Amino acid sequence: MKVLDFPLAKITIWFLIGVLFCYYGQPTINVALSIFIVGLPVFALSYFLNKVNKKFNSFFGISTYFVSFFIGVLTLLFHTDSLQKSNYIHCTKAFETPQTITFTLREKLKSNTYNDRFTALINNIDGKEYSGKIIFNIQKDSARNPVIGDIIKVKTTLQRNSINKNPNQFNYSKYLADKQIFAQIYSNKAEISINKKAKKDIWYYSGRLHSRIVHNLEKSNFNKEEMNVALALILGQQQDISTEIIQDYQYSGATHILSVSGLHVGFIMIFINFILKPIPNTRKGSFIKLLSILISLTFFAVISGLSPSVLRSVVMFSFLAIGNHLRRSGSIYHTLLVSILLILLFEPYFLFDVGFQLSYLALFFIVWLQPLLKTIWVPKYKILTTIWNALTVSFAAQIGTLPLCLYYFHQFPGLFFVTNIVIIPLLSFIMIAGIIVMIFAVFSSPPILIIQIFEKSIYLLNKTIHIVASFEWFVIRDISFNSYYLLTFYLFIISAIIWNKKRDYNKLLFFLISVILLQISFIYTKKEVENKHELIVYNTKRNTLISERKGKEITIFTSDTISKNTILNSYLVGNFSKLKSTQKIKNVLFFNGKKIAVIDSTGIYANKFQPDILILTQSPKVNLDRILKDLHPQIIIADASNSYAVLKIWKISCLKKNIPFHATSEKGYYKLN
């Protein structure tokens, strides 16, 4: 690829490698900084030697990549809040006993059944200045709701993000840590004190502007359900969309349109360019167009709440606009690389955000692959050309993001191409109408006629999505997909495209190697799965659940064989396994030479049986001190079906006897290999 000849491409790649190395290798800041400082004089020397004699060009290149790599390492380290001494994570007493904590609300999140949720910035703890981001959960009631910019004081304890309690579940704790959120606060409105003077920064004014838009839309009698979808489509605010609508968009393969991304910002740019078309393409006219686009995109980011996904898309398209103004449209790849580098220099943790990965992959494959797909068929009629172009764009984006979607979500919407053909024309109208409505709503209630047209178009969109989503058999779910598949599938896709663009021996060889590596990933995964033998005690509250795995086959031992064990599905998918049988749990189990005793609510156990592991379930009324004396187990496991009060007593008994005690409600599932 010629794009790799561009010096910034290689610098960006080494910067990304540095960020990845830092994320997974976790070097200390002192070591990384020391190596970087030592490398700087070498870089300076290579630069001057290269200026004098071009034979030092390779030396200069290597030293440049070295510096780029360590800039990536240091960028991530400097943006890791937990390494800052002022971060609240170092205030251990705040996690142990109630402290007076003051914080400022930054962003409204999606509410759950019981709480409204916000991200917030810590100001101080017990009068001492601290920093860092938390999630603030406040109980729902009829009192005044907090708003962005409110400075809140509450006496409470910080709650660490809970770890995964069952295998192969979505790692919410890691997800929050990548956003530099390490704790949460739970409170109700009676416990908090809101400062009369809010913090009036850009987020405050953005929140006020957003609230004004919502208020004016409500005054215009905009249907609540359609309004929530409109706010997601235009402003990226998904907080109030119903679960049923979100599920319809997922099943139809249209989830991406509910999150403001490159698609939405692209529509806005097209709309602005259309309005500015009368301005001549002179030097001055081109500059006026660029300035108008940048101001419009900035205003859009502000009214949409300055969410990370919107900011990413706005930065990306701002660079595309600048590149077009400078007449450098010949290499959109370079523009994308510049935007990636700039975004990650300020927010390197975006690299680990699924939205960031999918946005850039989709755009890259549309630019790279769509022209190739378009040549497969050349329609004679304009309407067919329009449909074919929409299809090829959709297929290019889907091919580029498919492995990543399978890796993260384990499902594939088979009707994605139907959805895109149907909704893209409708979405084009909705975006234009939506922008007009939102501009009106900034100042006052929009005219009823415009609201009705916009509302009906949203209703039609939802109805169309619902019809497509109703064909559930086209949604392929529970697809097992690991990191080996992810890497080799992308290698296969990239090599296939490169070979199809220009077929020669070297490219064919690269393609065949990728096929072999793909096959190796299948064989290695199969071998790894077949050699697995493990027993897991799950963290389930009402129903005791134990699984024994032998290769691909899973046997379940449970206290309730009728209920569906939905918690098991993630484990089956994540481990390429299938359910062999479900059995009623027994009082005695054997695994890899280990003897396991299970005591349930009956409290019955055999005195003569000396188990290696003792599992306690359903809060049995037993004297654990006597049981430990009789059975002499090596470890005690108590699942979440036991009451909290009983767990505390058992824990004390095990401490006296110096026997390990594993409560799944505290430590998560227990795995025995």
Give the tens place of pLDDT for each residue, 406-425: 999 888 887 777 777 777 77
The domain that holds 140 is classified in CATH as: 2.40.50
Average pLDDT over residues 588-608: 86
Pair (272, 158) in one structural domain: no
Q: How many other β-carbons are positioned within 10 Å of the β-carbon of residue 50?
A: 18
pTM: 0.85
Strands 613-616 and 412-413: unpaired
Residue 145 pLDDT > 80: no
Question: Which helix H or strand E contains 55, and what residues bound it?
Answer: none
Query: Has residue 142 been placed in a domain?
Result: yes
* pLDDT score recorded for residue 430: 81
Q: How many other β-carbons are positioned within 10 Å of the β-carbon of residue 278?
A: 6
Question: What's the pLDDT band for 482 if we cut at 50, 70, 90?
Answer: very high
Pair (66, 136) in one structural domain: no
Select the highest-mean-pLDDT range: 3-12, 130-139, 289-298, 601-610: 130-139
d(CA 63, CA 60): 5
> Is pLDDT larger for residue 460 or for residue 565?
460
* pLDDT score recorded for residue 331: 66
Q: Answer with the one of 46, 78, 110 that is the final residue of a domain.
A: 78
Query: Domain containing 135: what range?
Result: 88-199
Which residues are bridge partners to 136 per DSSP? 118, 185
Number of domains making up the chain: 5
- Work out the percent of the chain whose per-residue pLDDT is above 70: 95
d(CA 106, CA 118): 7
- Computed over every residue of the chain, the mean pLDDT equals 85
Query: Has residue 406 been placed in a domain?
Result: no
Burial class from Cβ neighbours inside 10 Å (0-12, 13-18, 19+) for residue 352 reads middle
Q: Answer with the one of 48, 78, 108 that is the final residue of a domain.
A: 78
Residue 579 pLDDT > 80: yes
* pLDDT score recorded for residue 2: 57
Say how far residue 155 (Cα) sits from the centre of its chain.
Answer: 31
Select the highest-mean-pLDDT range: 36-40, 49-53, 187-191: 36-40
* pLDDT score recorded for residue 90: 92
Query: Has residue 193 been placed in a domain?
Result: yes
* pLDDT score recorded for residue 142: 55
Average pLDDT over residues 145-163: 89
